[in-house]
Structure 1
Amino acid sequence: MQLSQDKINDTTTKLTVTADKDVLEAGRLRAVKRLGKNVKIQGFRPGKAPLHIIEKQLDQNFLQSEFLEEIVNQLYVEAAQELKLRPVSQPNVTIKKFVPFSELEIDYEVEIIGAIVLPEYRKYKVTRKAVAVAATDIADVLTNMRTRTASRATVERAAVNGDSVTLDFTGTDAKTKEAIPGADGNDYPLVLGSKSFIPGFEDEIIGLKAGDAKEFAITFPADYGSVELRKKKVSFAVTVKEVQAVELPKLDDEFAKNIGPFESLAALKTDIKKQLTDERNQDADREFDNELLEMIAKATKITVPDSLIEDEIDRIEAEEKRNLVYRGQTWQEHLDAEGVDEKAHREKNRDGAVIRVKAGLVLAQVAEVENIVVSPDELNIQVELLRGRYTDPTMQAELDKPENRRELMSRMISEKSMTAIKANINGATKK
């Protein structure tokens, strides 16, 4: 095989391949043999006739098409392996010259991942955030537990802090007067003073009785979870349907025993502290990993192929659309709330997509630098562990599909790469 490479840009290259005659001949024989399995020739069982006899029975255009389909792919794979390319998509193929089964010259234009130059991440000094659980944190959990198990009695008086109210409410944009998807509720339960709703909302309900209606406006905080509602002024129309006095159970050993397998209130508090500590350690680990990987990705020298970025933007938007379904909001309503069109929205996600793609490439490069691999035994063990989580045979069978095993192996290598990075960084494993 004669092979040449012309760089078009940092992420696109053109390969020109001229095939050897013996390779073409071998490809021709394979194509004849494959097609011959379906050819009936008198005196021979299907597929058992000599190849030269089978070939005479074949449509030559069909034979050439079958031959080219295999040989074009074979030559591309061999060329990419020889040049150690990392393609990100299927190539654009141009057959420059083809004399059936004797001469073949092909151009492959392919998008690739170019050179990746990692920063000296072993010299990084990064400290993982320490976690702590205060007595007030434990007290808050206990309060929530008591609230969930409290007795409730309907009252005719005005609502006060600590009461449970049932509401119907709608929210509209204070400027446009248009309804805001997700800012409404029917028979919505709310414990006043729980601070579980929009800041300021619960205060507006205090003093109302069952049957009372009230309108008021609230400006959502700048750090509100839903981006399109941040700093937005919303007018609410609220009707109180029921007010209940809440009587919290006494906080003692008996309460702990009723909650779960605890012999005392002290044992319950110890368990709460452990769970909060574990949760916060997991959050701190995840936050540390993300910040560290983003730091390395930003310092890594690489030109990210456009197709990978576009694919990642597609994934980000698909995730957004799934979340919108739960909020009862359409994609167009989401775009309108952000004040952007489809194109501008994709551009807003571009920087994040670039970082995510670079992070994945960084982990793959670290695996290469650190000689990280996943053995067949490791993969099989992980597959069996996952299989044990499913009772549906169909889901279990999915784990055996080659593409799913490859994806699982990729995740395992990424996890090992992240562990290797942290093992070389000061402060990375501090709790």
Structure 2
Amino acid sequence: MKSTVEQLSPTRVKLNVEIPFEELSGDFDRAYQQLSQQIRVPGFRPGHVPAKIIEARVGRDAVLQQVVNDALPAKYSQAVTEADVKAISQPEIEVGDLVHGQPVTFTAAVDVRPDITLPDYSKVSVSVDPIEVADSDVDEQLDALRQRFGTLVAVDRGAKKGDFVTLDLSATVDGKPVDDATTEGLSHEVGNGDLIDGLDDAVVGLKSGESADFTTTLIAGDHAGEDAKVTVTVTAVKERELPELDDDFAQLASEFDTVDELRGDVSQRVADSKKYEQAGAIRDAVLDALIEQADFPLPEQVVADEVEATQHQLVHALGHDDTQIDRFLEAQGKTRDEWESESKAEAEKSVRTQLLLDAIADADDTEVSQEELTQHIVMQAQRYGMPPQEFIQQLQNANQIGALYADVRRNKALATAILGADVTDTTGAAIDTSEFFGDDDAEAGDEPAKKTAPAKKTAAKKTAAKKAPAKKAATKTAAKKAPAKKAAPKKDAE
């Protein structure tokens, strides 16, 4: 097989491939064997129909077409490997005229990784906020713990922020009831903003048995983006009574004997949480600095595919209904042009990030061990609340193990860059990034490794320790196909 590479642009090439006809002999044998199993000819058992009879039945050209279609994926991959082409998109394949006995030719236009000049990590300098634990931070966590042990008591007064109310809701659009916006006996904490816009303002001041009307814009359902008149009726108002913060409470809610010991533990956990927040800020700042310093062209088709994948989530959720999409965007204060522009900007940043981190990983010969991949899969499964084996099965069914591997590799590459960068806080103090991004502590380049917690779990520890913010992935997660993944051509490419 002979192939040449034609550079169409810095991010796109065309492979010109010629396959000697004799190289397809094995493919012909397989094609005849498959057709022999399918064709029924009197006097011949299935699987034993001669090739000449098969050709007479389906035509020589049809057999040749099937052979070429079946052989194309492997021949394309072979050409990509031999030419050392770093393909990152689905190829556009055109097959030349097929003549029995003559060489088979095809072209494959495909996006490739651009040449990237990597920045000098030592010249990357970023600054983040210092770690500061205020008394108010500790008090906030202690109050959250007290709320877990609080009791709800019915009150005969108007509802106020922080109260728990039981509500009946009904809505109409243009005077017609909206079934999916109607409910009874709904529990709601006034002021948390979890439900619909305008509800909290309408509820404040209402006593049990009182109602109020307000107008809001629906964000889901058949009437998404439309204004609805909502009637809310309060059927119960309760306030939460909190236990006193004293030694008795410390003994009830934790493993500690005194409130001072409890406060000290909460303070330490708040500090740990802020460390994780700082680590996340460092990661984002270094990544932004790297992207700013590394200027390179982006593959247009890869960006377009990323935009389509991002927009498809909303389009699919709204039933592919253009009217519903426009209403939803209007409710968000966006035009379709603005949505398109934002989607493209996000896609460009995502693709640029992936390509840059791939280049860093290649330059450093970054590898991912089976243990690191397994750790990452287990962590992802925990985030989705799924058993690891079930999560792995879903990844395999979606053919996403490779994408997850690429994510881990990119995150390890980013950790390498962070370790080489100059990182300080806004006071000018140097920050030792090895605590979170060093080889000993980092978990497969994912989020900073957490210190092993004591085996005994208490209510205080579960409440006082703020959960470390979920890592803003340096790359897209396995939910989307990684651009770095080579894709085989479609069998029916012509």
Q: Figure out how many residues of one structure are paired with residues of the other and give that number.
A: 404
Match of 2:24 in 1: 27
Question: Bigger CA drift: 263-272 or 196-205?
Answer: 196-205
CA distance in 2: counterparts of 1:305 and 1:38, whole angstroms: 41
CA distance in 1: counterparts of 2:193 and 2:249, whole angstroms: 24
CA distance in 2: counterparts of 1:216 and 1:248, whole angstroms: 32
CA distance in 2: counterparts of 1:169 and 1:82, whole angstroms: 66
Unaligned runs of 5+ in 2: 217-227, 424-430, 436-494
Secondary structure of 2:153's counterpart equals: strand
CA distance in 1: counterparts of 2:368 and 2:356, whole angstroms: 17
Match of 1:133 in 2: 133
> What are the Cα deviations for residues 228-266 of structure 1, in whole angstroms up to 9, with x where unaligned?
xxxxxx999765543445432111121122223333323
Aligned-residue offset at 1:276: 2.6
Aligned-residue offset at 1:416: 1.1
Larger-Rg structure: 1
TM-score scaled by structure 2? Answer: 0.66
Match of 2:80 in 1: 80
Q: What does 1:287-298 correspond to in 2, within 5 Å?
A: 287-298=281-292
Match of 1:3 in 2: 3
CA distance in 1: counterparts of 2:229 and 2:256, whole angstroms: 46
Question: Bigger CA drift: 139-148 or 352-361?
Answer: 139-148
Give the one of 392, 401, 409 matched to 1:405. 401
Aligned-residue offset at 1:73: 3.2
Match of 1:269 in 2: 263
Secondary structure of 1:105's counterpart equals: strand
Give the one of 243, 246, 256 matched to 1:252. 246
Question: Bigger CA drift: 96-105 or 398-407?
Answer: 398-407
Q: Report if aligned partners of 1:298, 1:355 keep a CA contact under 8 Å in 2.
A: no
TM-score scaled by structure 1? Answer: 0.74
Q: Structure 2 vs 1, CA of residues 306 and 130 (structure 1 numbering), >3 Å: closer, same or farther?
A: same
Q: Structure 2 vs 1, CA of residues 314 and 198 (structure 1 numbering), >3 Å: closer, same or farther?
A: same
CA distance in 2: counterparts of 1:145 and 1:200, whole angstroms: 29
CA distance in 2: counterparts of 1:383 and 1:335, whole angstroms: 35
* Seq. identity, %: 22
Aligned-residue offset at 1:206: 6.5
Does residue 145 (structure 1) correspond to residue 145 (structure 2)? The answer is yes
Aligned-residue offset at 1:420: 0.7
Q: Structure 2 vs 1, CA of residues 119 and 185 (structure 1 numbering), >3 Å: closer, same or farther?
A: farther
> What are the Cα deviations for residues 315-373 of structure 1, in whole angstroms up to 9, with x where unaligned?
43355679999xxxx64432122344545412222112211110111111100111111
CA distance in 1: counterparts of 2:341 and 2:411, whole angstroms: 30
RMSD, aligned CA: 4.7
Q: Structure 2 vs 1, CA of residues 359 and 391 (structure 1 numbering), >3 Å: closer, same or farther?
A: closer
CA distance in 2: counterparts of 1:402 and 1:211, whole angstroms: 52
Question: Bigger CA drift: 314-323 or 371-380?
Answer: 314-323
Q: What does 1:409-420 correspond to in 2, within 5 Å?
A: 409-420=405-416
Give the one of 312, 316, 323 matched to 2:310. 316
Q: Say which structure, 1 or 2, has more relative contact order (CA 8 Å, 6+ apart).
A: 2
Aligned-residue offset at 1:115: 1.9
Give the one of 314, 324, 344 matched to 1:350. 344
CA distance in 2: counterparts of 1:363 and 1:147, whole angstroms: 44
Does residue 64 (structure 1) correspond to residue 81 (structure 2)? The answer is no
Which amino acid in the other structure matches residue 77 of structure 2?
A: V
Match of 2:189 in 1: 190
Match of 1:39 in 2: 36
Q: Structure 2 vs 1, CA of residues 286 and 320 (structure 1 numbering), >3 Å: closer, same or farther?
A: farther
CA distance in 2: counterparts of 1:102 and 1:66, whole angstroms: 16
Q: Report if aligned partners of 2:89, 2:302 keep a CA contact under 8 Å in 1.
A: no
Does residue 104 (structure 1) correspond to residue 101 (structure 2)? The answer is no
Match of 2:449 in 1: none
> What are the Cα deviations for residues 142-161 of structure 1, in whole angstroms up to 9, with x where unaligned?
22332343334323345677
CA distance in 1: counterparts of 2:259 and 2:253, whole angstroms: 10
Secondary structure of 1:32's counterpart equals: helix
CA distance in 1: counterparts of 2:374 and 2:205, whole angstroms: 63
CA distance in 2: counterparts of 1:394 and 1:112, whole angstroms: 34
> What are the Cα deviations for residues 262-297 of structure 1, in whole angstroms up to 9, with x where unaligned?
333233323323333333332332232223212212
Aligned-residue offset at 1:413: 0.6
> What are the Cα deviations for residues 33-53 of structure 1, in whole angstroms up to 9, with x where unaligned?
453266379999987x8xxx9
Q: Report if aligned partners of 1:171, 1:184 keep a CA contact under 8 Å in 2.
A: yes
CA distance in 1: counterparts of 2:296 and 2:33, whole angstroms: 49
Q: Report if aligned partners of 2:198, 2:215 keep a CA contact under 8 Å in 1.
A: no
Q: Structure 2 vs 1, CA of residues 256 and 315 (structure 1 numbering), >3 Å: closer, same or farther?
A: farther
Q: What does 1:219-230 correspond to in 2, within 5 Å?
A: none
Which amino acid in the other structure matches residue 413 of structure 2?
A: S
